[in-house]
Amino acid sequence: MTPAANALGGASSPYLRQHADNPVYWQQWGAEALDEARRRDVPILLSIGYAACHWCHVMAHESFEDDVVAAAMNEFVCIKVDREERPDLDAIYMNATVAMTGQGGWPMT
């Protein structure tokens, strides 16, 4: 998928809007994105972060702004979550990350 623009430009979260110009076709967490993953039969690439996170900005610059990386990511349904807006999702995925790896942090992708 090579989108003209991702779906974060109208997000209420300033963190999500920071990613609106990425070549990654980011979507917000919701039924539409989850349904698309089912319809296309592809995995979800989930990225959770927050505006004050230094390493979130580094990852955005080094990965999410790169056209080659974005092209590979766009084979998936890419969902961007602001942990400050959705602490429920952050807790679920952080608990899973810590259970699987023994550590956690952000960005969590």
pLDDT digits 0-9 by tens, 8-47: 999 999 999 999 999 999 999 999 999 999 999 999 999 9
Angle CA 87–90–94, to nearest 5: 140
Please report whether residue 21 resides in a domain: yes
Please report whether residue 60 resides in a domain: yes
We report the CATH number of the domain holding residue 96 as 3.40.30.10
Percent of the chain with pLDDT over 70: 96
Please report whether residue 1 resides in a domain: no
pLDDT of residue 4: 54
Please report whether residue 3 resides in a domain: no
What's the domain range around 88?
14-101
In the chain, the number of structural domains is 1
Determine phi and psi for 12, rounding to 5 degrees.
-75, -25
Helix (H) or strand (E) holding 98: helix 87-101
Please report whether residue 19 resides in a domain: yes
pLDDT of residue 1: 44
User: Six-digit token pair at 67?
Assistant: 């056209």
Please report whether residue 51 resides in a domain: yes
Mean pLDDT over residues 52-63, rounded?
97
Cβ distance 76 to 44 under 8 Å?
A: yes
Please report whether residue 78 resides in a domain: yes
Band (5; pLDDT cuts 50, 70, 90):
confident
Mean pLDDT over residues 75-95, rounded?
98
Mean pLDDT over residues 56-84, rounded?
97
Please report whether residue 71 resides in a domain: yes
